[in-house]
Structure formats: structure tokens, C-alpha cells
Amino acid sequence: MLNIILTIVQSLANIIIYFTLKIDA
């Protein structure tokens, strides 16, 4: 169960970083 939550959080973090870099570029 904990692994699923960590995976979701990591995915959201990756999406936020992706959009942040995309906006900066």
C-alpha cells in the first residue's frame, strides 16, 4: 500500500517538474 502512495507522489512530482521546466523553456 505504501509503495503505491510513494509511486503516485513521485509521479506527481515528475509531472510538476516537467511542466516547470517546460514553462521556463
4-25 per-position pLDDT tens digit: 999 999 999 999 999 999 998 6
pLDDT for 1 equals: 81
- Map grid coordinates 513521485 to a residue: 10
pLDDT for 9 equals: 98
Q: Is the dihedral of CA 12, 14, 20, 23 positive or negative?
A: negative
Count of residues in the chain: 25
Q: Cell numbers for 14, please give them.
A: 515528475
